[in-house]
Amino acid sequence: MIVASVPDFREAARRRLPRFLFEYIDGGSYAEATLRRNVDDLSRLALRQRVLRDVSKLDLSTELFGQKLSLPVALAPIGLAGLNARRGECQAVRAAEKAGVPFTLSTVGACPIGEVAGAASKPFWFQLYMIRDRAFMRDLLAQAMEANCSALVFTVDMPVPGSRYRDYHTGLAGSGGLQGALWRVAQAMVRPGWAWDVGLWGRPHTLGNVAPVLNGNTGIEDFFAWMRNNFDPSINWRDLDFIRAEWKGPLIIKGILDPEDAKEAAELGADGIVVSNHGGRQLDGVLSSTRALPPIAEAVGDRLTVLADGGIRSGLDVVRMLALGAKGVLLGRAWAWALAAGGEAGITKLLQLIEAEMRVAMALTGTTKIAEIDKTILAGD
Ligand code: HOC
């Protein structure tokens, strides 16, 4: 199929992936109201067209946490996304570095830190959850330091997991044992291209960083059971001391949706935050990132770097998020779909598309540099 947009990548991923994987990435929690709001609120923001402003030279580069980026974009951490293609996170990190943007490896990615570090030639970002087993957290942080990761993204909005109905329907959640496994095998068998590509008949995925604590259990249900039982619900602001003691690089707190929490993060010395509702996968009914972002940027934008994710389906949406006060955005589902659709080349194409779309949005709003993008490019202000 012809892929000319982010929704096209989604459709290509839908055709290629076994259902349990596609729905896992695509879905949100409960009635998916927040998932829809993320997309709708952002796309509804009207841009203000300006003309005759010499837009022949556009500079989309920026700097985040001391790193020069060719675009104000990073690939978000996504659990299991690496299963979308063979050694998926290794392909993703290569595409990201070729495009000059950071890749973020999830704690629960399919490839472990060391393997991704081996595939990369530049530093990438590492994402961590609060895990009950502090020794395991220390070990992951030590591996991230060893791999020269250039930022830590600490996800704080998952003290308990939200329920995703689609995962029950596909057998990914709640149906362990033989029945669940057989159902997933059946879904994979109708996608032989995917099964061949990820190497189901060759070296299997190791289930990433978590493999060493799965005690030899290799099934996806073991992986999910571990996640369900090991994310720490006692997580609180004092835990940042623990993180700070173990991690010396830039610290980005992901999952902030309220200005008071943003102020707390700034108070405690975070270098950045990600305004995020976890892609509509946690508390359904909370604000979209689009609505949460402006008051947060207003409250702390001069004290730390505000990033945002949620609902970005084009380069135009990236520009909209910047106009609302973000200094950069995290692309989530879009890269997972592009990985499924075309591996490393798919993500390269996605990032070229996002850049091209950003160029048009900047040119037609009369902005030539990232720093010029602010709320004045939105109609109605
Ligand atoms: C049952 C635990 O961030 C996601 C990931 C991690 C999910 C853990 C689910 O899917 O949003």
* Cα separations in angstroms, 297 against 147, 154, 254: 32, 19, 14
Centre of ligand 1 from the C-alpha of residue 111, in Å:
16
Centre of ligand 1 from the C-alpha of residue 79, in Å:
6
Q: Which helix (H) or strand (E) holds 275?
A: strand 272-275
* Cα separations in angstroms, 92 against 46, 72, 135, 270, 341: 32, 17, 28, 27, 12
Does 281 sit in the ligand 1 pocket, CB within 6 Å?
yes
- Active-site option among 278, 313, 320, 327: 278
- Predicted confidence at residue 203, as pLDDT, reads 58
Which residues, at least 6 apart from 15, have a Cβ–Cβ distance to it below 8 Å? 1
Which residues, at least 6 apart from 226, have a Cβ–Cβ distance to it below 8 Å? 210, 213, 214
- Predicted confidence at residue 252, as pLDDT, reads 98
Tell me the sheet residues that pair with 329: 73, 308
- Predicted confidence at residue 186, as pLDDT, reads 87
So what's the ipTM on this one? 0.94
| Cα 317 from Cα 323, distance rounded (Å) | 10
Centre of ligand 1 from the C-alpha of residue 321, in Å:
24
- Predicted confidence at residue 176, as pLDDT, reads 64
- Locate the ligand 1 atom nearest the alpha carbon of residue 279 and give its number: 11
How many other CB atoms are found less than 10 A from the CB of residue 68? 9
Centre of ligand 1 from the C-alpha of residue 24, in Å:
9
DSSP, collapsed to helix, strand or coil, labels residue 321 as helix
- Predicted confidence at residue 192, as pLDDT, reads 87
Contact 194, 17 (CB under 8 A): yes
Does 205 sit in the ligand 1 pocket, CB within 6 Å?
no
Does 336 sit in the ligand 1 pocket, CB within 6 Å?
no
Per-residue tokens: 118: 């081996």
How many other CB atoms are found less than 10 A from the CB of residue 141? 21
Q: pLDDT tens per residue, the chain (381 residues)?
A: 999 999 999 999 999 999 999 999 999 999 999 999 999 999 999 999 999 999 999 999 999 999 999 999 999 999 999 999 999 999 999 999 999 999 999 999 999 999 999 999 999 999 999 999 999 999 999 999 999 999 999 999 999 999 999 999 998 887 667 778 888 888 888 898 898 888 776 555 678 999 889 887 777 888 888 888 999 999 999 999 999 999 999 999 999 999 999 999 999 999 999 999 999 999 999 999 999 999 999 999 999 999 999 999 999 999 999 999 999 999 999 999 999 999 999 999 999 999 999 999 999 999 999 999 999 999 975
Does 9 sit in the ligand 1 pocket, CB within 6 Å?
no
278 is catalytic: yes
How many other CB atoms are found less than 10 A from the CB of residue 135? 9
Does 224 sit in the ligand 1 pocket, CB within 6 Å?
yes
Nearest CA to ligand 1 atom 6: 79
* Cα separations in angstroms, 146 against 96, 117, 142, 247, 354: 20, 9, 6, 11, 32
| Cα 89 from Cα 82, distance rounded (Å) | 5
Contact 97, 125 (CB under 8 A): no
How many other CB atoms are found less than 10 A from the CB of residue 363? 16
- Predicted confidence at residue 214, as pLDDT, reads 87
- Predicted confidence at residue 202, as pLDDT, reads 57
From the list 28, 60, 24, the residue with the least C-alpha distance to 281 is 28
pTM of the predicted model over 0.95: yes
